[in-house]
Amino acid sequence: MAADSGPAPLPSSLPNSLPRPPGELEALRRIWQPPRGFRLVTAINNTYIGVFYIGTAFLFFVLAGVLALLMRTQLALPENNFLGPNVYNQLFTMHGTIMMFLFAVPVVEAVAVLLLPNMLGARDLPFPRLSAFAFWAYFFGGISFFCSLFFGLAPQGGWFMYPPLTTTTYSPGIAEDFWLLGIGFIEISAIAGAVEIIVGVLRTRAPGMTLERMPIFAWAMLVFAVMVVFAFPAIILATALLELERAFDWPFFSPARGGDPLLWQHLFWFFGHPEVYIIFLPAAGMVSMIVPTMAGKPLVGYRLVVLALIGSAFLAFGLWVHHMFATGIPRLSLAFFSAASMAVAIPSAIQVFSWIATFAAGRTQMKTPALFILGFLFTFVLGGLTGVMVAVVPFDWQAHDTYFIVAHLHYVLFGGLVFPLFAAFYYWTPAVSRNALSERVGRWVFGLVFIGFNVTFFPMHVTGLAGMPRRVYTYAPGLGWDTLNLVSTLGAFLIAAGVLLFIVDVARRFRLSFENHAGNVWNAGTLEWLPNGYYANRSIPIVTSREPLWDQPNLAKDVEAGRYYLPGAPTGGRETLITSAIDAKPQWILQMPYYGWAPVTAALFTAACFLLLTVKLIPAALVCAVIAIAALVHWAWELDPGPSHPPVPIGGGITVPVYVTGPSSQSWSAMIVLILVSGALFASAVFSYLYLWTVSPEVWPPADALPDIGYAGAAALLLLLSSASVAYASAALSRDARGRALTALAAGVLLLVCASTVDAYAVWQTGLSPSATSYGAIVYTAFGLQAIYVAVVVFMAFYTLARARAGLLDRARRVTFDNTMLLWHYTVAQGLTGLLLVHGFPRFVP
């Protein structure tokens, strides 16, 4: 049943009256109770997943920090022999990889998982088990990856792993494969997080919370998620290509056979530059929440800040070549990317000055969060200014790959993420812990970390200009670097002392409590500070401004009393309210799952499968894959409950459905996001094909060496017919002609498989080899990508048929079918594009 066409109007008085029926609150508490004891690993509520996530990310921060201390110890003296190059090269690779992939991106996702639902007035994220799966995959995968150090199997290629160094010729063994497969977990986590956040921010906000009234952190996370959707696929493809080259000798990056090392750099940095904004923008969002509270005034220039977030995201995708200024690319290219890299300073400046203006508007309470914000401002502005410096091409020609860059990147990353994160820890701890952290100790932590940071990294600007390159396990004495390095090492230990002190304070004072936390000690204005429990808020409030707690004085009391929407659980299960994307009018109720073993089991066995593949224990890997897929299927089977419950009243005279199909469904939105990710992935493959052609046109076939165009025509026709078949099935299903719908679906499967077979045969019968030239490699890759999607879609089709067989699919209950249909049409479009590229492009160019 589709959602109601008109959103319900907001009532003029509070939706629900007192007294609330007896047992309503108790039922709500009971329904949202987390599992106990060891079974806490099956929890899926954003409260626990958020805390697990933050804890794990912080653990990786500390571990990577210890690696840094080891490195700085080695570098304290010239020609030091504390560590040799073998160990040192593993350490700097792991330090960068862990910090960027296992700490920075996960931690901002983690803060969102923990706080976003509360900030939006929702009871949980829209796909709780997906977050749980993403977390556990990250946890198991990340820990195993870290443990490679203890076996001397950690990668040594640097965190950005440039080939040819990272091909098997120069990096034999499995260490680099650990990196490639380890990053896979982060990719899964990030994409899952992006789906969660986009749907959550756009569809689960409290009624009345229009986009213009949304907390800035929600905007920042929305921008984060969209950036992840378009940036991560580039590195997914890059890692796949490198693994194919390592495992099967497909020469993407080897010039002798038409490959190009710069292909990797383009793909990696197309991801890598947006990545740093993916890290920074959520932190900026946190700052935009903390500053107004500390100043006691609303954020100055809310709209400017939103525009700045969006502007940063756009520009961030146009800068990546500034990592390649020293590679010998043409000068016009240099000028463009230099200009763009300077321009991106402007949206950041807008945010900085909005914060300063907000401070100017009020009297700031100089508590620990504010101290860390000031530390952030100093550090990040300094880092941003050195960023403008390295955007200047001739300067970068001296600074690139020296300690100047190490200084710059730490100023913007530590400044732009870690300081806001510490501020966030001190700021939001009272919302999840019985005690706030200590103010007194907090000042010491700030002092040690801030001074330590500057003592460590400021001298590196000089060290770099004095000529010390990056990634060196030692250096010659007497070049003017000796004292600078010693000072940097001392600073590193100061940072460590500060972090240690922080850990001690957390151990002493942090006591996790979602029901008896310390409360709104800062007098903040946003919804995460409402009294709450495992169910988030007792009732879902109506919001009329950006700082509801400041502008609606009785809000907390009324929410607790159950005067707003959904004060209980009318379906008897876990629910949250779905609202419209722009105006946040109530639309329907999302029924959500209880805790269970499927997500953590699927994650464990997915991680195990990847790990076993890395160490080349293939049969065991296959067994784990089967178990993981079984867990996923078991989980999926509980989805798509259908309209099993009649529409329920949520208060204020509004009754909403508990199940919808079509574009309003959260499932549909998730599939759209997945399709965008897939499109970006395929676009990266298309880019790779065209780029390799520009570098090595001599390995491209002349038009007469291509397969006969009839093959492409036949494959295209079969693809289109399969889409038509599925479209017919969809129409038949909506007319309740189930039998015909299922037959059409099955026919579609046949057509799709035939299309792929024709496609495969066409390429194979030319004798094209994927390891002979880069052309062969990229053609087989494009085909392989398509084949994977076809396999997934066919699996989904069989699953849909199984649902129908079990009586779980019909005219009213069709989300499963719709998901299959959406991915199907995408796969057909992708296939047609691939055919056009492989069979058409070489015929069109002279």
Partner 1 sequence: MDLAPGIQSALHPRGPDAEAIAHLTWILIGGGTAILLAVLAIAAFALWAPLERRAWAAKRRFVIGSAVVFPIVVLTALLIYTVVVEASIGKRGGEPAVRIAVIGHQWWWRVHYLDSQGGLDFVTANEIRIPAGVPVELRLESVDVIHSFAVPNLAGKLDMIPGRVNRLRLHAHAPGVFRGQCTEYCGGPHAKMAFYVVAERPEDFEGWRASQRSPASAAQDALTAQGQALFMSHCVTCHTVRGTDARGTLGPDLTHVGSRISIAAGILPNNRGTLAAWVSASQDMKPGNLMPSMNIFSGEELRALAAYLESLK
Binders of partner 1 among residues 139 to 178 (CB under 8 A) are 156-158, 162-165, 169-171
281 binds partner 1 (CB under 8 A): no
SS3 at position 78: coil
Kindly tell me which residue out of 9, 55, 173, 480 binds partner 1, with binding defined by CB under 8 A: 480
Q: Quick one: which segment of 80-88, 134-142, 242-250, 540-548 binds partner 1 (CB under 8 A)?
A: 80-88
Sequence-distant (≥ 6) Cβ neighbours of residue 767 within 8 angstroms:
none
Using only C-alpha atoms, the chain has a radius of gyration, in whole angstroms, of: 27
Name which of 118 and 358 has its Cβ closer to partner 1: 358
**Contact residue for partner 1 among 427, 473, 605, 659 (CB under 8 A):** 473
Span interacting with partner 1, options 24-32, 271-279, 294-302, 619-627, rule CB under 8 A: 294-302
**Judged by CB under 8 A, does residue 357 bind partner 1?**
yes
Phi first, then psi: give them for residue 590, nearest 5 degrees: -95, 120
Residue 641 as a binder of partner 1 (CB under 8 A): the answer is: no
Taking CB under 8 A as the rule, does residue 801 contact partner 1? no
Number of helices (H), then strands (E), belonging to the chain: the values are: 27, 4
Helices 216-248, 105-120: axis angle to 10 degrees equals 150
Least distance to partner 1, CB of residue 163, Å: 8
């000055």: which residue's tokens?
Answer: 353
Shortest separation between residue 183's beta carbon and partner 1, angstroms: 18
Which of 46, 204, 312, 386 is the binder for partner 1 (CB under 8 A)?
A: 386
Residue 483 is inside which H or E element, if any? helix 482-509
248, 397, 761, 764: which one binds partner 1 (CB under 8 A): 397
Choose which of 1, 69, 153, 361 interacts with partner 1 (CB under 8 A): 361
Structure tokens at 217: 């952190």
Q: Which of 196, 260, 275, 818 binds partner 1 (CB under 8 A)?
A: 260
Q: Is 94 a residue that touches partner 1 (CB under 8 A)?
A: no
Cβ(1)–Cβ(812) below 8 Å: yes
Quick one: which segment of 395-403, 703-711, 760-768, 823-831 binds partner 1 (CB under 8 A)? 395-403
Q: How many chain residues touch partner 1 (CB under 8 A)?
A: 87
- Whole-number Å distance between alpha carbons of 183 and 138: 9
3-class secondary structure per residue, 269-319: HHHHHHHHHHHHHHHHHHHHHHHHHHHCCCCCCHHHHHHHHHHHHHHHCCC
CB of 252 to partner 1, least distance (A): 12
Answer for which of 69, 310, 392, 714 binds partner 1 (CB under 8 A) is 392
The site string for partner 1 over 307-346 (x = CB under 8 A, - otherwise) reads -------------------xxx--x--xx--xx--xx-xx
Q: Which two tokens stand for residue 475?
A: 């250096």
Q: What are phi and psi of 469, to 5 degrees?
A: -75, 165
The footprint of partner 1 on residues 411-470 (CB under 8 A) is: 465-470
CB of 578 to partner 1, least distance (A): 34
On whether the CB atoms of residues 567 and 23 are closer than 8 A, the answer is no
- Spell out the residues 6+ positions from residue 433 whose beta carbon is closer than 8 angstroms to its own: 509, 510, 511, 512, 513, 517, 518
Q: Does 796 bind partner 1 (CB under 8 A)?
A: no
Q: In the beta sheet, which residues pair with residue 655?
A: 649
478 binds partner 1 (CB under 8 A): yes
> Which residue(s) pair with 579 in the sheet?
586
Residue 392: other Cβ atoms inside 10 A: 14
Q: Which of 98, 99, 234, 262 binds partner 1 (CB under 8 A)?
A: 262
Candidates 17, 33, 398, 516; binder of partner 1 (CB under 8 A) is 398
Shortest separation between residue 544's beta carbon and partner 1, angstroms: 22
Residue 471 in the binding site for partner 1 (CB under 8 A): yes
**Nearer to partner 1 among residue 21 and residue 152 (C-beta):** 152
Report the residue from 137, 237, 241, 382 that binds partner 1 according to the rule CB under 8 A.
382
User: What does each C-alpha distance from 800 to 130, 467, 534, 752, 759 come to in angstroms?
Assistant: 20, 63, 34, 16, 26
User: 21: part of which helix (H) or strand (E)?
Assistant: none
SS (H, E, C) 84-135: CHHHHHHHHHHHHHHHHHHHHHHHHHHHHHHHHHHHHCCCCCCCHHHHHHHH
Interface stretch with partner 1, choices 200-208, 253-261, 761-769, 798-806 (CB under 8 A): 253-261
* CB 670 within 8 Å of CB 199: yes
Q: Which of 66, 304, 521, 760 binds partner 1 (CB under 8 A)?
A: 304
Q: Least distance (Å) from partner 1 to the CB of residue 220? A: 17
Output 462 or 754, the one with its CB closest to partner 1: 462
What is the 8-class DSSP label of residue 59? H
Told to check if 19 binds partner 1 by CB under 8 A, we report: no
Sign of CA dihedral 576, 581, 583, 588: negative
Of residues 680-719, those binding partner 1 (CB under 8 A): 695
Q: Give the C-alpha separation, 585 to 577, whole Å.
A: 10
User: Which lies closer to partner 1 via its Cβ, residue 159 or residue 668?
Assistant: 159
